[in-house]
Structure 1
Amino acid sequence: MNRSILRAFACSALIGIAAISGVQAQPVPSAAALPDFTGIVEKNAPAVVHVEARYTGGTSRKNQAAGDQATPGQGIPDDPQADLFRRFFGMPLPMMPSPQDQKHTSLGSGFIISSDGYILTNNHVVDHADKVIVRLQDHRTLTAKVVGTDPTYDIALLKVDAGGSLPTVSIGDSRGLKPGQWVLAIGSPFGFDYTVTQGIVSAVGRNLGERDQAYTSFIQTDVPINRGNSGGPLFNLQGQVVGINSQIYSNTGDYLGVSFSIPIDVAMNAVQQLKTKGYVSRGMLGVTVQPVSDDMVKAFKLDNGAGAAVVDITPASGAAKAGIQVGDIILSYNGQALQQSADLPPLVGMTKPGSKVPVEILRNGRKQTLEVTITETSRDQNAVSKSGAAPSAHGGAAALGLTVQPLDNDTRKQLGLNPGQGVVISDISGPVAAQAGLQAGDVILMVNQQKIASVAEFQAATKDVKAGSTVLLLVRRGEQSQFIGLTVPDGK
């Protein structure tokens, strides 16, 4: 049976438990031996919010892959051919027939981290939303601004203006979590606000692989989380937030006892950067690694398969300058031993660019430590800056509903373009570009008769785009070029 990691959603199920003959019953713990969560809930529930994301027009490919077009009350059938990692996207309303005219709503959870209205949730809860609504426990409904998002960490920072001081959660330290500790979640599964579930930490530092959030070492728990819990807080017994509920592991779409939360330390690091820079920077070592296979253990005469085997080096990177070579096995990074290759990206990602870090390697049977200067990874193409996220309501390139990336020289040659000419559309993320007929793979040569040679030039040329603006693009598709006008709705 094919298994899947899914963004926190599942369909309700009842599981019967039958007694097994001949098995001796275990003593039931006394009530005094079990924790009482009522104080934690009473103190923190007012700071937990219900998040409603509203959409108009076609969703991104990422969200379509989530199966978010099912109607309420329907289970999402498991597709054996679907991606291993599927995006949770709340509880959508029934779809309108036309992809361009359809409107739908997705629900999730979040929590207030500062009294002036900053709210933390998952990026996939609000990704590409036209409007985000937040509902508080006192039934106030507020429009939230998307301050910034980071798809790689799956973090979104929202801001509401409540006209006064708001209740907040206490932020804990996820680095001190240990398997077996009690934790609980508060959220809105299936739209049932302020639902409380509890369990224990099953594992820490759980890596889900390169296909989904390779830079995150998750907290694994058995806390039941379902559709609508995503973005909500995970508390320890001290009433402190230690994680953001994000995903479940399932082969059916149902909750099966394994849930994953983003460590709050990772999330708050992202929050600080989103507030100050509008984006999240991550460290880059400059290597491509793979697990140490059994064959490598035999060939290199290793004791075990711990570590990360280097299979490629990025030219001019910190790793290249420090002398790391293909075939080296990285045993530890900044003093932390690597049990598997997936341990490396989260450690590197959390390293501040410019830092000098000791990296222990094994080469030709001998251990040595190299000092590597960590550089910065390129920014996520679909990350949203402080200027806003909603295509129909905010300025900049996001208002056009498209994402671009650099155009490689081989593609330029195939299209008959000169070096340094044009950027390519990598994603259609909103109705403005979609309704104009633009497609992923189209090449943008000019913006308002200004030649475009890089992503930075495209961003600069579109930074003043706002509601009511019309932008003229020179677009190349195949062997033909055409001017296409995009008008951003004024929202009136």
Structure 2
Amino acid sequence: MKQTVRLFLVALFAGAVTLGGYKYLEKKEFTSFAPQQNSNFIPTSFSSTGAEMNTDFTQAAEKTVHAVVHVKNTTVSRKPSNIMEYFQGGGQPREMVGSGSGVIISPDGYIVTNNHVIANASNLEVTLNNNKTYTAKLIGTDPATDIALIKIDGDDDFAFIPFGDSNNVKIGEWVLAVGNPFNLTSTVTAGIISAKARDLNQFDGNPQSFIQTDAAVNRGNSGGALVNTRGELIGINTAITSETGSYVGYSFAVPSNNARKVIEDIMEYGNVQRGILGIQVGNINQQVVEKYGINDTEGVFVGGIEKGSGADKAGIKEGDIIKQLDGYKVSKFADLSGYLGSKRPKDVVEVTVLREGSEKKIPVTLEKLETFSIDDLGLEVKNTSSEELKQRGLKNGVTVTRALTPDMAQYKLEGIIITKINDESVKDTEDVKRIMSQRDYRTPIKMTFMDGAGNINSFIFR
């Protein structure tokens, strides 16, 4: 009995010690994590740090949603039903309907959209946010920038979106994408400017300069508006990059300055007037670094000058690095091509170049780019100056400016001079246009040209 009582007392004492120690440690742990009066503890509340998002999108959405329209494109194609129709053409006509978006830019009903939205249309139908429907007529297109201009007529003025200055947009700035994805009319999504002067076509010879955003854009948004928080048009939503075909985190818009210049050219001239410096862009490699002593990684390297061009007359030299255009920073070729895309022939651009370690500001008068697209060859050509022909030892020829298809881009034909097509001499783009319009489309095309090394070659395209 005594042994039992002794064991009970020992157990009771041990339990009391354990409980007391636990309470002591629990109290110490609590007090050690208590905020102190002069501590560096920073609360996680956004309101306490002044970092709350107070941007109001409602006014911008209200200003723009009534000026973004739903565009329906009806095309008619003929599908051959037998072997004879397959080889000779013909077949039963079949209608196909596509859709996209457009932006009213004037009270009298001019609408800017994407070229791929209205391509090959036999009928264009525009539906406004109030469900009124109009038949639209095509004014003009520019496939190179994927911009098209259409028009509707009504009794009253239409709501429209004023242009903003896309050169002044900043990375991180809030924007809204307004359009009609998946036939859902009047959809507004928000995001920020993720990047500027983004080139999606760097490998196919057709450089572009897009505004990149993370505002959700899907099929049907093409041709819609990208606007800032003031409700100004800063871009035309054009493309997404996706493995699924749907939005995955970023989208791309044609800058409003470029779109505005294209549609103004279409309205005034009927086609797009492109101004060029007259330079050949070179790559900065080890040989160039050693030859010119370059230690700068940003800018556009001038690899050559076209004789008689604006750059040649102004004094830009091979080996210069273009750093700015009219004070706007140029980090890469897309910056240069994007800025020049908003300019016209005879415009004067102040070019800041880095030469032998010092910067020089050189005013350059842009010249008109006279080009013709040889669709059957997938090449664009321009007239060749007499100075360049003399330098190359040629009497005639047109110069290839870029490839129009990825298949032709792989041959790196930019800069070659085509002297003959189907054994007929060509001296300018008008000759090319005439020869191509008169040829039998079923016969091969023979192209004779001089390459960069001065060799005369011939290709036959079947």
TM range (shorter): 0.5 to 0.7
Which residue of 233, 245, 255 corresponds with 2:237? 245
Structure 1, 212-221 or 257-266: larger mean CA deviation: 212-221
1:55 to partner: Cα distance: 1.6
* Structure 1 position 266, deviation (Å): 1.9
**Structure 1 residue 265 displacement after superposition:** 2.0
Are 1:57 and 2:77 matched, yes or no? yes
Structure 1 CA distance for aligned equivalents of residues 154 and 331 of structure 2: 47
Say which SS state the counterpart of residue 63 (structure 2) adopts. helix
Which of 40, 53, 65 does residue 60 from structure 2 map onto?
A: 40
- CA change 1:26–1:376 in 2 (3 A) is farther
Cα deviation digits, residues 356-406 of structure 1 (max 9, x gap): 4443444555655544332011256499xxxxxxxxxxxxxxxxx999987
* 2:282 alignment partner, SS class: strand
Following superposition, the deviation at residue 188 of structure 1 comes to: 1.0
Question: 221-230 vs 28-37, which deviates more?
Answer: 28-37
Q: CA RMSD in A?
A: 4.4
Q: Would the aligned equivalents of 2:68 and 2:104 in 1 still touch at CA under 8 Å?
A: yes
Summarize the Cα distance change of 1:225–1:334 in structure 2 as closer, same or farther, 3 Å threshold.
same
**Displacement, 1:222?**
0.8
Is contact 1:151-1:382 (8 Å) kept?
Answer: no
Measure how far apart 1:304 and its partner are. Answer: 2.2
The separation in 2 between residues aligned to 1:152 and 1:354, in whole angstroms, is 21
CA contact (8 A) 2:372 2:433 kept: no
2:453 maps to none
How far residue 54 of structure 1 moved from its aligned partner, in angstroms, is 1.8
Task: Tell me: higher relative CO, structure 1 or 2? Use CA pairs within 8 A at least 6 residues apart.
Answer: 1
CA distance in 1, matches of 2:279, 2:377: 30
Counterpart of 1:70 in structure 2 is: none
Q: How does 1:59-138 map to 2 (within 5 A)?
A: 101-138=93-130
Correspondence for 2:39: none
Partner of 2:254: 262
Q: Match for 2:225 among 208, 228, 233?
A: 233
Q: 1:316/1:476 Cα in 2 relative to 1: closer, same or farther (>3 Å)?
A: farther
Structure 1 or 2, whichever has the larger Rg, is 2
Whichever residue aligns with residue 146 of structure 1, its letter is: L
**CA distance in structure 1 between the partners assigned to 2:354 and 2:92 by the alignment:** 55
Task: Give me the whole-angstrom Cα distance separating, in 2, the residues matched to 1:297 and 1:273.
Answer: 40
1:449 matched residue in structure 2: none
Q: Deviations over 1:141-169 (max 9, x none)?
A: 22211111122222111101223322222
Confirm or deny: 8 A CA contact 2:208 2:334 kept in the other structure: no
Q: Identify if the C-alpha distance between structure 1 residues 303 and 454 changes in structure 2 by more than 3 Å, giving closer, same or farther.
A: closer
In structure 2, the CA distance between the partners of 1:408 and 1:367, relative to structure 1 (3 Å rule), is closer
- Distance in 2, matches of 1:318 and 1:222, equals 39
Q: Secondary structure at the match of 2:196?
A: strand
1:319 to 1:216, Cα distance in 2 relative to 1, 3 A: same
* Cα distance between partner residues in 1 of 2:382 and 2:210: 34
Amino acid aligned to 1:313: I
Distance change in 2, residues 1:99/1:246 (3 Å): farther
Of Structure 1 and Structure 2, the greater helix share is in: 2
Structure 1, gaps ≥5 residues long: 1-23, 60-97, 384-400, 410-418, 421-425, 428-442, 446-451, 462-470, 481-492
| Alpha-carbon distance between aligned partners in 2 of 1:283 and 1:275, rounded to the nearest angstrom | 17
For the 8 Å contact 2:197–2:210, the answer to whether it is kept is yes
Q: Percent same amino acid at aligned positions?
A: 37
Cα distance, 1:116 vs. partner? 1.2
1:303 to 295, 298, 311: 295
Q: Indicate if the aligned counterparts of 1:292 and 1:306 stay in contact, CA closer than 8 A.
A: no
Measure, in 2, the Cα distance between the counterparts of 1:169 and 1:202.
Answer: 23
- The alignment covers a number of residue pairs equal to 360
Q: Which residue of 1 aligns with 2:412?
A: none
CA contact (8 A) 1:235 1:242 kept: yes
Aligned-pair CA distance for 1:52: 1.1
**Aligned 1:463-482 pairs, distance under 5 A:** 477-478=443-444
Identify if the C-alpha distance between structure 1 residues 402 and 126 changes in structure 2 by more than 3 Å, giving closer, same or farther: farther
Rounded Cα–Cα distance in structure 2 between residues aligned with 1:212 and 1:195: 33
